[in-house]
Amino acid sequence: MTQTIFTEKAPRAIGPYSQGIQVGDLLFLSGQIPVDPETNEVVENDIVSQTNQVMKNIKAILDSQRLSVKNIVKTTIFLKDMNQFAVVNEEYGKHLEDHRPARSTVEVSRLPKDVLIEIEVVASLK
């Protein structure tokens, strides 16, 4: 049995997918891009602002399910430019504090809305 996840505090899906799906004790979040849910616009075109908005969106979805970043077990980061890896690492780490989920990071040629970063998450409900 699956449950679709939705919150107004994160951007609406821009295609035929949901913000997240719960299956058993796992929550799978769709890739979050740096869209401000209030304006439905992409935030400034710099990697720091975009990384922080993505993490805010992730936290909003987790919060809607009474979860926190401590529930994250795996992330995948998609970067437009791997040269931004160190900056992303620093900003991402600030949001996780001392929590260290498993992670993959890959460079991609293009992302939706031509953003610089997208992050997808798997979280445990326990």
Tens-place pLDDT, residues 28-79: 999 999 999 999 999 999 999 999 999 999 999 999 999 999 999 999 999 9
Residues 98, 104, 110, 111, CA torsion sign:
negative
Which among 50, 57, 53, 48 has a CA at the least distance from the CA of 7?
57
Domain range for residue 34?
2-124
Averaged over 103-117, what is the pLDDT? 97
Residue 117 pLDDT level (bands cut at 50, 70, 90): very high
Q: What is the pTM of this model?
A: 0.97
Confidence tier at 1 by pLDDT (50, 70, 90):
confident
CB burial readout 77-98, b (16+ within 10 A) else e: bbbbeeebeeebeebbeebbee
Is residue 14 over pLDDT 90? Answer: no
Tell me the C-alpha to C-alpha distance, in Å, between residue 62 and each of 1, 28, 107. 19, 10, 25
DSSP designation for 34: S
Per-residue pLDDT tens over the stretch 84-105? 999 999 999 999 999 999 999 9
CATH number of the domain at 57, please. Answer: 3.30.1330.40
In sequence order, the 6+-apart residues with CB closer than 8 A to the CB of 72 are: 58, 62, 96, 99, 101, 121, 122, 123
Number of folded domains that form the chain: 1
- Return the pLDDT at 105: 98
**Distance between CA atoms of residues 44 and 88, nearest Å:** 15
